[in-house]
Chains A and B, each alone.
Chain A
Amino acid sequence: MRGSDEIQSIRLALGELENRNSGQAVTLPPDCYTSEAFLELEREEIFRKEWICLGRVEEVPKAGDYFTTELIDEPLIVVRGRDDEVRVLSNVCRHRSSVIAVGGGNAKNFVCPYHAWTYGTDGQLLRAPYMDKVAEFDVTKCRLPEFATEIWQGFIYVNLDGRAKPLAPRLKSLEPLIKNYHMGEMAHQFREEQAWDTNWKCLVENFMEGYHLSFTHYETLHDVTPTRLCKKYPGGKGFTGYESHYPPKWPPRTPHHPDLTDKEQRYTMMFCVYPSHVVALTPDLINYMCMRPLGAEEVHATWGLATFDPKPKRKTVSDLHGWIADVMVEDKARLQSVRRGLKSRSVAGSPLAPPDFEGTIWDINCYLAEKLSLKTVTKSRVKRAS
């Protein structure tokens, strides 16, 4: 009962947010970040219904390559089948519900460790010991559920409820801004699973706003991408972002695709594919995170890196890893402080900083309001009814 009252008041507050124009941009109500009941709503209405990024296609280059992951209680296998198609399969045995595969690798079949039920890389059940003695059981009719999947720019997205509209059209206006980087041709370097003690939106916002760069990252990023040089570009239905420009003195970032214009070589292209896939695209690499909530104050993030250089030196990769990890340490400290602060009853809405610095947060807030505000739900009900 308390949960539904709580949600109701948050959704009404989101409705009020929708009445504002971008000149009146404000922060979300604090409960959006701390309420477990609201997170449940987000899981159902956003993470089950939207396209959620799970990783890169170069992580599964050959037939039989796979990795396992999880999205809001759904264990998943991402696998390239013999037919070269990348599929996202349920990683739960159809028999007694055991998780089947762990980690990643290359496999011909997936064998459930409990009773050795064996599935093909396309999810088809191939063998089930002694089940031939069970009348009416037909191996050929049993398969692992396959989820709606879309590949965009080398990223693999899944849609759990299978009803999301295709992703690419929603990102159409982003394409001209990133086409010269040729992300699809970049080479996967590493993937790391992380748990952050923060609400998933705090981590998305933190990645996606340039306001904190000169202050939180004075030691690490201020010289490369200072706050003052951040410039937002217009967002679209499925994304928002900004350009994080380099000062003239900063050396070129190479190697990069020859198609990149002189201008494009001088900034990092930041974008967020709603709800929770964030990317920093520099001339020479892709640094990205895919977030899925574990609780109101805990988020699972997959951090990955791909480079234009197909075979960079090992030291280059470990330097990059170290440098980004140092930046993350600074972010972790900030987000820890935000987590404590958000619980205070003194928190009131604040105006957001100018669009170039925090306009992305306003876009994300509007996206969230559109999905979850009470007013929206009423509207769509009316539409459906008529």
Chain B
Amino acid sequence: MREKTEEKNWLLAPSGEPRGYIDSQALTELWFHTGTNCNLSCPFCLEGSKPGDDRIKFITGEDTKPFIHEALEMGVEKFSFTGGEPFVNPHFVEILGYGLEHRPCMVLTNGTEPLRNQFGEVAKLLKQPNPVSFRISLDHPDPELHDASRGKGNFSMALRTLGLLHAEGFHVSIARLMEPKEDVDAVDAGYAKYLSEAGLPSDITIIKFPDFQTPGSIPEVPQVTEHCMRTYTTEETRHAYMCNFSRMIVKKNGRCGVYACTLVDDDDDYDLADTLRESFEVRIRFKHHRCYSCFAFGSNCSEGT
């Protein structure tokens, strides 16, 4: 394994102790960032996405194919897509269709107009040889709280889209925000009546995420050192970190880079390489504040295939 950089801030925490790290094992999931353009402007968006935003550019079919092929050679089991809002990317349905020719796929979407206006095209993807699942954000089980950030009527539309996708035959799940010290089961139970209304199964998967802060934030969080990793993690828990088994392709300034995971695309130290194989030769240090979220809360954007 080699270090991405020999810079002190990459290698050492402010205390001078070596930062914790992951030496990745094998690629099982490959993520694509479809671009930071989004139809919504949620104030808490960890990507800072909004209409017209192009911090991360629209990825195209031609951009994705070399990485899909390389990932298949490396034994990848699944492709996943996030944004921005993937369905704002004009190439997205084509990209997803190509991914589904090879492996199961998952899409993170807000379930609003960009998806709804293309539902007819999306429904055709059921004929592809692999299944696609959709994870839709319902931030809170209280529609008013959800709509306060995402716009009036948004909860209702996202819920309805979940129901339509499920009725069409797609696998669906929910992403929600997680408050510190919340009663997890009680919050999850708050969705029950809405699930029933939309014809969704009561045991639908609900993925919880802490507040990751907006891009470029530098919140004060505890530093994850090698000592922390030795003391508080095991080989098994280390294997669960996304940077151990996945990568994300991000397009900035006309170039696609291989990033360590879905949460660190605002820090170019995590732009590991031009190819997936090369990225697996790089030791991933826990420098980003979101690395602490993974360490402390077990955050994981992935989901079973």
Say whether A and B bind each other. no
